[in-house]
Amino acid sequence: MIDTLPLIIATVMTAATPLLIAALGEHVVERAGILNLGVEGMMIVGAATGFAVAVLTDSSVVGLLAGALAGMALSALFGVMVVFFATNQVATGLALTILGLGLAGLIGQDFVGQPRAAIPPIEIPVLKDIPLLGKAIFTGDVVFFLSLILIVLVAFVLNRTRIGLLLRSVGENHVSAHALGLPVRKLRFWAILFGGLMAGLAGAYLSLIYTRFWSPGMSAGRGWIALALVVFAAGHVWRLVLGSYLFGGITVAQLHAQAGAIALPSQLLSALPYLMTIAALLVLSLSGRKGAGAAGSLGQPFVPER
């Protein structure tokens, strides 16, 4: 058990990282008052583009970057629609997912079934030699370490900087923000682009690190889980981190329970991550804060008065 613990933790880390990154992006978008249901679509386009570019340039790092940019390009389309044409965010987001799934199939067409070598893991010297957990936590892939930086960055920018304050006020009440002279649409557009960048990166992580091949539909609903995690987080980055690792942890733990022939119905174990999310949501909404921490103007189209 002691020997396998680092391996198990490493598995949880790779399972949680794409969820966390996509959710971080959507978190920023929703703080700005926009609901983008297209995470799954941007993610899968990121996966396809990331893989294709990695094969063409023979560089997984360039692939990761390209995947992130592809997600951002798709989000720009969404941004133009909902921010500047004030289209319905739910409908536009769903359309983005459908578009993304189709587009990804097209982009990845010639790359189906091509294998790809792993990116060598990064090892942090000294720290990795800490007994027991050192090797698990301080030996990881490049995106895992990036995700740690992103957590701090997102939390800091949103809560401790002027730009974060502006973004949140735009999300809380866009009419007042506009009356105060804040560039509501510009700020929202930037937030949407960041969300797309993160979703695309999460997608590229799937096809380049998590499982190293491209196949249509490989995101398998992770974009939707990321969206649920943002609701779960109710406005707190730390809860986002907790949620992602809880979800990843339970997913992996239930597989271990099965392999160890623990006598629990495995369908129940399989449903456990989802049940936990629902339970957490219930506790959250029962414990009181109105709207469970969502931004005040979330999902409402904004058309500035002249």
Partner 1 sequence: MSISSGKFASITLGAFALALGLASPAMAQEKLKVGFIYVGPVGDFGWSYQHDVGRKAIEAAFPGKVETTFIENVPEADSERSIEQLARTGHKLIFTTSFGYMEPTLKVAKKYPNVMFEHATGFKREKNVSTYSAKFHEGRFIIGKIAGKLTKSNTIGYVGSMPIPEVVAGINAFYLGAKSVNPDVKIKVAWAFDWFNPGKEGDAAKALMDQGADIITQHTDSPAPLQQAAARGKYAFGQASDMSKFAEKNILTSIIDNWAPYYVERTRAVLEGKWQSQDVFDGLAKGKVVMGPYVNMPDDVKKLAMETEEGIRTGKIDPFTCPIIAQDGKAVECKDGKLNDGQIASMNFYVQGIEGTIPK
Instruction: Identify the burial level of 23 via C-beta atoms within 10 angstroms of its C-beta, where 0-12 means exposed, 13-18 middle and 19 or more buried.
Output: buried
CB of 216 to partner 1, least distance (A): 4
**For the window 75-114, what string marks contact with partner 1 as x by the rule CB under 8 A?**
------------------------------x--xx--xxx
Which residue in the set 89, 92, 251, 297 belongs to the binding site for partner 1 (CB under 8 A)?
251
DSSP string for 63-124: HHHHHHHHHHHHHHHHHIIIIIS---HHHHHHHHHHHHHHHHHHHHGGGTT---PPPPPEE-
Site for partner 1 contains 217 (CB under 8 A): yes
Which residue in the set 88, 123, 129, 256 belongs to the binding site for partner 1 (CB under 8 A)?
256
DSSP, collapsed to helix, strand or coil, labels residue 284 as helix
DSSP, collapsed to helix, strand or coil, labels residue 160 as helix
What one-character DSSP code corresponds to residue 264?
S
CB of 206 to partner 1, least distance (A): 7
Which residue in the set 56, 90, 91, 118 belongs to the binding site for partner 1 (CB under 8 A)?
118
Site for partner 1 contains 49 (CB under 8 A): no
- Which tokens belong to 293? 């921490």
Segment contacting partner 1 by CB under 8 A, of 64-72, 205-213, 237-245, 291-299: 205-213
CB of 104 to partner 1, least distance (A): 10
Question: Are 180 and 262 in contact, with CB atoms under 8 Å apart?
Answer: no
Cα 71 from Cα 176, distance rounded (Å): 31
What one-character DSSP code corresponds to residue 292?
G
Among 300, 304, 303, 302, which residue's Cα sits nearest to residue 35?
Answer: 300
**For the window 119-148, what string marks contact with partner 1 as x by the rule CB under 8 A?**
------------------------------
Segment contacting partner 1 by CB under 8 A, of 84-92, 143-151, 218-226, 239-247: 218-226
Give the residue with the Cβ less far from partner 1, 36 or 207: 207
Give the residue with the Cβ less far from partner 1, 270 or 285: 270
Site for partner 1 contains 57 (CB under 8 A): no
Residue 38, phi then psi, degrees to nearest 5: -90, 15
Which residue in the set 266, 281, 285, 299 belongs to the binding site for partner 1 (CB under 8 A)?
266
Which residue in the set 263, 286, 305, 306 belongs to the binding site for partner 1 (CB under 8 A)?
263
Near partner 1 in 3-32, by CB under 8 A = 4, 7-8, 11, 15, 18
- Angstrom CA distances, 265 to 246, 254, 278, stand at 20, 10, 19
Amino acid, single-letter form, for residue 190: W
- Which tokens belong to 301? 């189209």
Which residues of the shown chain bind partner 1 in the complex (CB under 8 A)?
4, 7-8, 11, 15, 18, 105, 108-109, 112-115, 118, 206, 210-218, 220, 222, 251-252, 255-256, 258-261, 263, 265-267, 270
